C-alpha cells in the first residue's frame, strides 16, 4: 500500500467494528464520530460508513420517529423542547435532528436553535444534531436518515426530526418518519391557505400551536376549521384519522395529548401491520434515492463534466443540440468520470 493510500483509509474494518460497539454502548463521542463519518464525502469514508450501517442495521428500527413541520416561527423548536423534556422526564432518550437543505442554519442560527431548545440542550438524555450543512435535499435527507439509524442503535427511543418546510423537505421528512406532525398558527382561514395542500395530506396530526393567552379562542376556531378541511381529504392511512388539536409549546399545554396521539397511532399501525409495511417501502425508496444521488454525483463533482454542462445546456436551449444527443454526450462523459 502506498503512503497516499494509507492516509486515505483511516477507518479499516476493525475500526468500524469498534465504532459500532462504542456507539451501541451509548458513548456520545463515538456517536458523533459515526455521524461525521456518514456525513463525509470521501470515497473510503463512504465505504466505511456503509459497513457501519450494515453492522448496525439489526439494532435499528426500535425508535418512534416523529417528523415535525410548519411555517417559520410556528414554534417547532420550542415544541420539540417542551415535548422532548416531558419525554426525558419519563425516562425516554430523545434524539433531535433537522433537515434544512437551504443551510440557512449556519453558525449563529444553530446557536439560536440551541437556545430555543435550552432545556433539551442541557439534558443528558437528549442528543441534538443540526442539519447536515448544505447539499441537495436528497443528500441532506440521506444523511439525516442514517443519523437517525445511528441514534437508534445508540439507544435513543424517540427521534424528532424538524424540517423548515421549504421545497420538498416535508416530503423527505415524512418519508423517514412514522408520524408526521404539522404545526399551524391560530389565524384560521388565512393559515389554511398558507399551508400547502400536499403537506396537509401528509399530516398524521395538525396541532394549532401558540394556543395561550388571548390566542386561545382563535386557536380553537382554527382547529375546527382544520378539522373540517381534513374531513374532505382522504386519510393517508386506513387505520388512522388525523386529529386536530391545540397546544402551547410555551406553556407546555397539550403536550401530553400530543404524545398520547402519537402512541395511539403507533399502536394501531403496529397491530395492523401498516408500520412494518410502511417502513419496508421507505427503505426501498431510500435505496433508490441514494442510488440516484450517487449516480448524479459526478455531474456535481467531476470537473470536466461540471464545466461542460452549462455549454451543453446553452446548445440545447438554442436548438443547436438535440436533447437526445446531449444525453448521449453526457452519458458517455459519465461513464468516463
Ligand X SMILES: Nc1nc2c(ncn2[C@@H]2O[C@H](COP(=O)(O)OP(=O)(O)OP(=O)(O)O)[C@@H](O)[C@H]2O)c(=O)[nH]1
The pairing of strands 126-128 and 244-246 is: unpaired
Contact set with ligand X (CB under 6 A): 70, 72-78, 116, 164, 209-210, 212, 248-250
Q: Which is nearer to ligand X, 166 or 192 (CB)?
A: 166
- C-alpha to C-alpha distance for 221 and 187, rounded to whole angstroms: 8
In this structure, are residues 71 and 165 in contact, taking their beta carbons and an 8 Å threshold? yes
Nearest to 248 by CA among 82, 48, 16, 63: 82
By CB under 5 A, residue 131 contacts Mg ion: no
Q: Which is nearer to Mg ion, 82 or 153 (CB)?
A: 82
- Minimum CB–partner distance for residue 264 and ligand X (Å): 23
The item of ligand X, Mg ion, none sharing an interface with residue 74, based on CB under 5 to 8 Å by kind, is ligand X
Going from the C-alpha of 324 to that of each of 219, 295, 313, 328, 329, the distances in angstroms are: 54, 19, 12, 6, 9
Least Cβ distance, residue 33 to ligand X (angstroms): 27
* Residue with the CB atom nearest Mg ion in the bound state: 77
| 3-state class percentages of the chain: helix first, strand second, coil last, to nearest 5 | 60, 10, 30
Dihedral, CA atoms, 118, 119, 123, 125, nearest 10 degrees? -110
Per the listing, cell 461542460 goes with 308
Residue whose beta carbon is closest to ligand X: 75
Q: Does position 69 bind Mg ion by CB under 5 A?
A: no
Q: In whole angstroms, how close is the CB of 234 to ligand X at the nearest point? A: 28
- Compute the least distance from the CB of residue 60 to ligand X, in Å: 27
132 binds, among Mg ion, ligand X, none (CB under 5 to 8 A by kind): none
State how far the Cα of 303 lies from the Cα of 322, in Å rounded to an integer: 23
Q: Which one, 180 or 240, has the nearer CB to Mg ion? A: 180
Alpha-carbon gap, residue 160 to 201, rounded angstroms? 20
Whichever of 107 and 319 has its CB closer to Mg ion, that residue is 107
Pattern 4-33, Mg ion, x by CB under 5 A: ------------------------------
Q: Is 64 helix (H, G, I), strand (E, B) or coil?
A: strand
The reply to whether 77 sits near Mg ion by the rule CB under 5 A is yes
Smallest separation, CB 31 to Mg ion (Å): 22
Q: Which residues contact Mg ion by CB under 5 A?
A: 76-77
Amino acid at each position: 500500500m502506498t503512503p497516499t493510500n494509507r492516509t486515505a483509509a483511516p477507518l479499516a474494518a476493525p475500526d468500524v467494528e469498534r465504532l459500532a460497539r462504542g456507539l451501541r454502548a451509548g458513548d456520545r463521542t463515538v456517536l458523533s464520530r459515526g455521524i461525521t463519518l456518514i456525513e463525509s464525502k470521501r470515497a473510503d469514508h463512504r465505504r466505511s460508513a456503509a459497513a457501519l450501517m450494515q453492522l448496525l442495521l439489526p439494532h435499528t428500527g426500535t425508535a418512534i420517529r416523529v417528523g415535525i413541520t410548519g411555517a417559520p416561527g410556528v414554534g417547532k423548536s420550542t415544541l420539540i423542547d417542551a415535548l422532548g423534556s416531558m419525554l426525558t422526564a419519563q425516562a425516554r432518550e430523545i434524539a433531535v435532528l433537522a433537515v434544512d437543505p437551504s443551510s440557512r442554519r449556519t453558525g449563529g442560527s444553530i446557536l439560536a436553535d440551541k437556545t430555543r431548545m435550552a432545556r433539551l440542550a442541557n439534558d443528558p438524555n437528549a442528543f441534538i444534531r443540526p442539519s447536515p450543512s448544505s447539499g441537495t435535499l436528497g443528500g441532506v435527507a440521506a444523511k439525516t436518515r442514517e443519523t437517525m439509524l445511528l441514534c437508534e442503535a445508540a439507544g435513543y427511543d424517540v427521534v424528532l426530526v424538524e424540517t423548515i418546510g421549504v421545497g420538498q423537505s416535508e416530503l423527505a421528512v415524512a418519508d423517514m418518519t412514522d408520524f408526521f406532525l404539522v404545526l399551524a398558527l391560530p389565524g384560521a382561514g388565512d393559515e389554511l391557505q398558507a399551508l400547502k395542500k400536499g403537506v396537509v395530506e401528509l399530516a398524521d396530526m395538525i396541532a394549532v400551536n401558540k394556543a395561550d393567552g388571548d390566542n386561545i379562542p382563535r386557536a380553537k376556531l382554527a382547529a375546527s376549521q382544520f378539522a373540517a378541511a381534513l374531513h374532505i381529504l382522504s386519510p393517508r392511512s386506513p387505520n388512522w384519522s388525523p386529529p386536530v388539536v391545540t397546544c402551547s409549546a410555551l406553556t407546555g399545554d397539550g403536550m401530553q395529548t400530543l404524545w398520547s396521539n402519537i402512541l395511539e397511532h403507533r399502536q394501531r399501525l403496529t397491530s395492523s401491520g401498516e408500520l412494518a409495511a410502511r417502513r419496508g417501502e421507505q427503505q426501498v425508496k431510500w435505496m433508490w434515492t441514494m442510488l440516484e444521488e450517487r449516480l448524479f454525483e459526478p455531474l456535481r463533482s467531476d470537473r470536466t463534466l461540471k464545466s461542460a454542462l452549462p455549454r451543453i445546456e446553452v446548445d440545447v436551449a438554442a436548438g443547436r443540440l438535440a436533447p437526445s444527443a446531449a444525453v448521449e454526450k453526457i452519458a458517455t462523459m459519465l461513464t468516463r468520470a
